Amino acid sequence: MKTLNLRIFEKFNALLGRNRYLDAFARICAEFLILILLAFFGFLLFLQTWPDYDALLKISIFFGVLWGMGMTINWVIGKIVRSPRPYISNPNYKSLFRPLMDSKAFPSDHAMSAFLVFFASLFLGLPLWPVTLILVLAIVFGRVYAGVHYPRDIIGGVAVALFVSLGILFFSGIIF
């Protein structure tokens, strides 16, 4: 019997290649939307802190440190769990592209980074956080649809982002 994780992934993977516009949208979401999300987050931070450039610098450095912590946690978990990407674990699965790193799938670095931006937007009270959520959901949809992550990889990335984001709440009173 297949797990729910596998059944969901296979439903998405069966759609791959059937609609070139959906494939193109998913690839943009999976590969490039993270850059737009980061630029949007930076713009919102600028709006929130302007004209206090010291606050912008402090928050930016703090976020960078938290992102580094999240990536380190992802790397350690990836070394322990050693979960291959779907197209590696089953050659019958399709993918829209091959990521730069095939070494791990769990937890998803893109999901962790995207949700870290979303949680930071919420905790910092940034305007337009619903737009951030839409961008984040499009990114994680794209990663699963593109065949480079299972849904559980996304959930793992979200869990790491939530864990690290709690650091924002805990340490923000000390730093700011």
Tell me the CATH number at 42.
1.20.144.10
Domain boundaries, position 112: 4-175
pLDDT in tens, 141-150: 999 999 999 9
User: How many independent structural domains does the chain possess?
Assistant: 1
CA distance 2 to 97: 25
pLDDT in tens, 133-176: 999 999 999 999 999 999 999 999 999 999 998 876 777 665 54
From first CA to last CA, the distance across the chain in angstroms is 51
Roughly what angle, to the nearest 10 degrees, separates helices 33-49 and 109-123?
20
Which among 110, 114, 97 is positioned nearest to 165, based on CA atoms? Answer: 114
Say if residues 157 and 110 touch (Cβ distance below 8 Å): yes
pTM score, whole prediction: 0.91
Q: How many CB atoms lie within 10 A of CB 71?
A: 16
